[in-house]
Each structure stands twice: as structure tokens, then as C-alpha cells.
Amino acid sequence: MTFLAPDALGRCLLGLALTLFAALPAAAGERAPVVVELFTSQGCNSCPPADKFLGELAQRNDVLALSFHVDYWDYLGWKDTFGSKENTHRQSLYRDRLMGRYVYTPQMIIDGRVEMQGTDRSRAATEIVKSKTLAELGDNAALAPIDCSETKDGKYMVSLPARPGIGAVPLWLVRFDPRHEVAIGRGENSGRKLVYTNVVREIRRIGEWKGEAMQLTLPADAVPQGSGAAILAQDGHAGRILAAGRF
């Protein structure tokens, strides 16, 4: 159920090289992970291949893969168990900023800067390489790394580097469930058992970053046991992501 025509892909050898390069893990602490957001739905029969692809990306230490379930396909006969109006609103804001005409699934957003069809592995590989290249070149458009760690008393420490000139940017705590397996009872995927990775359950503002080195301490209950968590510095709910890190 996709409404975006796939891009024309040429230069097959170059695409293969980029894919292989993108598969190499980044050394710890060198740069922020590339943030890949997938907008998906349990009621969309084109989404399972994209969900599988996101699961593969989630295994990489140089990628922060997040799954956002929307609710606008619920009318087809199956209510997405993770879908929310907040996720649909986030996708709509990306649509408006990235010059899209409509929302669709599966849609992938990389670093809040570019969108593509969620099953377009070649395009995704190219854009992940581009994000990493920006960081290696020291480009100010590249994501800054956020150091996230757990203290001895069970609290969470968030440390951001200095990055002058960015203005005031909200900091968001993103909480997600690492894995779910769902049996679909009705709709376009009826009878299938599908696996979902890093399913976002909450995005909550926790502070503001003004480009200065800073630290935040979050209470132990900020990340419930069994949950995954990440920190994003992002202007609004769908602006360019300027810094990222994960626990």
C-alpha cells in the first residue's frame, strides 16, 4: 500500500559499494548513530519488508533505528496495536517540511533530513553513507554525538558536546520496545505473524540544548526495565536532528 514510485536506480556497482561500506560498524564514540525512522502500520501489506529491513538496521551500532506506527490504516479492518495519532502527526510534519504531497507507508526518514520509500534499500544505504561522511568531514550539518550512560545508583546521565551557533534546540527522550511479535487477525496482513523492532512508545521533552557542553541526569524510572531509550536534539517534532545518542 505504497504511493511513492521507486526512484530510478543506476550505477549498480557504485550502489553495491555504498551498501558494503554502510554495513561497516562505526568505532564507538566516533560519531552519533545515524537516525533512521520508519513510519509503518500493521494494516499495510507493503510494510512487512520494510519492517524486516529496519530490524536489520537495528543490529548495527552505527544506526539508531526507530519504528513509528501510524493509525490512518486502522479503518481497513485491523487496529494497529502500536499506532497513535502522535506518530501520524509526526509524519505529517515531516511531510510538510520535506515537500511531500501526502503521508504514506512504509516511509523512511534519515536524520530528519531526507525521506524515501521504506523498502528502498539502495537509497537508504546511500543516505546512511552520506550522513556518516558529513560527520567524518566535520560538517556542521552532521549529527553531534550524545553520550548516554547509566550511573551506579540507577540514574541516567546525558552529556552533550559544545556546538556553537545552533540556537536553542529541544531535547527529547525517545522510549521504545526492542521487539514485538504480533499475530495479525484481520485486514491486509490477516493471518500473518509479524516482528517489529524498536517500537516507539513515547517521546518526551526533557530539556533544551543551546550549543554549549551540558549534562542532564534523568531519574531511574525515566526508562522502565526492558525498554530501550535514546536522546534526540531536534527542533520541534520533525525538524532536522542535530544530535543523537542511545542508552
Q: Is 5 within a domain? A: no
Average pLDDT over residues 232-241: 89
Residue 7 lies in a domain: no
In a domain, residue 18? The reply is yes
Q: Which residues contact 61 (CB under 8 A, 6 or more apart)?
A: 25, 26, 28, 33
pTM: 0.86
Q: Give domain status of residue 51, yes or no.
A: yes
Q: Is 156 inside a domain boundary? A: yes
Q: How many domains does the chain have?
A: 1
| Residue 3, in any domain of the structure | no
Say which CATH number the domain at 37 has.
3.40.30.10
> What is the extent of the structural domain holding 18?
12-23+30-246
Share of the chain above pLDDT 70, in %: 85
Structure confidence by residue, pLDDT tens digits, 148-184:
999 989 999 999 999 888 889 999 999 999 999 999 9
**pLDDT (tens digit per residue) in 35-74:** 999 999 999 999 999 999 999 999 999 999 999 999 999 9
Indicate whether 46 belongs to any domain: yes
pLDDT in tens, 98-154: 988 899 999 999 999 999 999 999 999 999 999 988 866 656 667 899 999 999 899
> How far apart, in whole angstroms, are the C-alpha atoms of residue 195 and residue 21?
27
Q: Residue 110 domain-assigned?
A: yes
Phi then psi dihedrals of residue 136, to 5 deg: -65, -30
Q: Where are the alpha helices (DSSP H) in 58-203?
A: 85-97, 121-136
